[in-house]
């Protein structure tokens, strides 16, 4: 992955959050993440990538942030199932937008969702994985891109 590829994912992330009620999203500088210590939060939505590139993209966020995303969508219930759905939807939306840019050789799977630290067990990270920090309102989340050509 190069800077332009990562920028596509950053733009997709910003686009998703700007589609919510307010535009308070801040994206931190992407950095290389240790594959031995993956970053996970309360909920993690994982999208598998196949085709010209292989690996995964995942979005991980705290429960409180997901509750506020749900409220921004007009959903007043925040059960564990609904929060799992929204974290998967965010991951899927960002990956789907990237697929438009990368083309048909960028095949994405349906999201799998994991709760808590157990998500780390489901992550098979490439040697070089990039973490993109996301701040929305007062919450911190992350988008992780782990692809190999």
Indicate if the pLDDT at residue 106 is higher than 70.
yes
C-alpha to C-alpha distance for 1 and 19, rounded to whole angstroms: 26
Instruction: With CA atoms as reference, report the closest residue to 46 among 111, 97, 92, 107.
Output: 111
Determine the CATH number of domain 3-148. 3.40.1550.10
The whole-model pTM stands at 0.90
- Higher pLDDT pick, 124 / 21: 124
């Amino acid at each position: 992955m190069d800077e332009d590829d990562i920028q596509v994912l950053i733009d997709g992330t910003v686009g998703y959050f700007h589609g919510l009620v307010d535009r308070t999203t801040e994206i931190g500088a992407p950095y290389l993440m240790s594959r031995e210590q993956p970053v996970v939060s309360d909920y993690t939505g994982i999208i598998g990538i196949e085709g010209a590139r292989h690996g995964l993209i995942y979005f991980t966020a705290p429960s409180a942030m997901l509750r506020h995303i749900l409220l921004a969508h007009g959903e007043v219930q925040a059960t564990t199932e609904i929060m799992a759905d929204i974290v998967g939807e965010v991951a899927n939306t960002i990956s789907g937008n990237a697929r438009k840019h990368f083309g048909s050789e960028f095949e994405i799977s349906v999201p799998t969702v994991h709760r808590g630290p157990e998500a780390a067990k489901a992550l098979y990270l490439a040697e070089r994985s990039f973490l993109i920090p996301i701040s929305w309102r007062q919450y911190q989340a992350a988008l992780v891109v782990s692809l190999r050509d």
